[in-house]
Amino acid sequence: MEILGITTRGDRDLSSSLAKIGGKGLFVKELETALVEGRADIAVHSMKDVPMILPAGLTIAAITEREDPRDAFVSRHYARLSALPYGSSVGTSSLRRASQIRAHHPRLSVEPLRGNVETRLRRLDEGRYAAIILAAAGLKRLGLAARITALLDPEDSLPAAGQGALGIECLEARADLMDLLAPLAHAETGWCVRAERAVSRALSGSCVVPMGVYAERLGAGARLRSFVADPGGTRFVTADVQSGDGGVEPEELGARAAEQLLAGGAGAILAALADE
């Protein structure tokens, strides 16, 4: 196997917010171009970065077993978010994380933070922030789990759709590759990610929409929690749907969650964001 290293626009432009330069899809576009042009056979993505609608001719052949889906609180001097003094700066590049912090901890100041994981940690160590919020999965995969001060429960910071899961993409026409990749697929993770992406797809979710979605399998059933908020966290709509029947399709559960969000007023929030 040969690794084709690609630096995406999302990696290169560290001064602009993702919402303004095209969204998290900027981390996958160049990889998909390599697939279409035949320069690569497969591409590996964080599923939270994969747009809800794939380009024609491409498919996610396998979703691997999920790493920890939670957000991580990282600080040198404080044990948890609630311990931060009034006005403390919290760094994050995510509107989803920012809206939840502003809603649950309005006394804190949320500041933008871009760059790879090492860059973000360095800026914390330099004293530019009292704390930063990162994906726990990324820290653990990079061998940096020791930097995690505390893990945020979904009740405090609901993850993004697909957070912690890796997806392997290839051309739909490559049945040979799909057969080779099939053993890497993790059924439970795949089911949960499909449910989460169904919510985001139904609401046309992108990185300009503060949205969290998290599915869990509970025995034969499942639970799917989600929210839509405005960037300031002043308007916050939640949904919590469950199924006790293992026969329910993940897309069906996602559709129920989306309907609940819309019934609670998510449509007005989305419309306001679209007009900005």
Catalytic residues: 49
Q: Which amino acid is at 146?
A: A
Q: 143 - beta bridge partners?
A: none
Q: What is the DSSP letter of 165?
A: -
Q: Which amino acid is at 110?
A: V
Phi, psi at 110, each rounded to 5°: -95, 125
CB of 214 closer than 8 Å to CB of 158? yes
154-165 CB burial, b ≥16 within 10 A, e <16: eebbbbbbbbbb
CB of 256 closer than 8 Å to CB of 248? no
Cα gap 35→68, rounded to integer Å:
29
**CB neighbours of residue 87 within 10 Å:** 9
Phi, psi at 66, each rounded to 5°: -75, 135
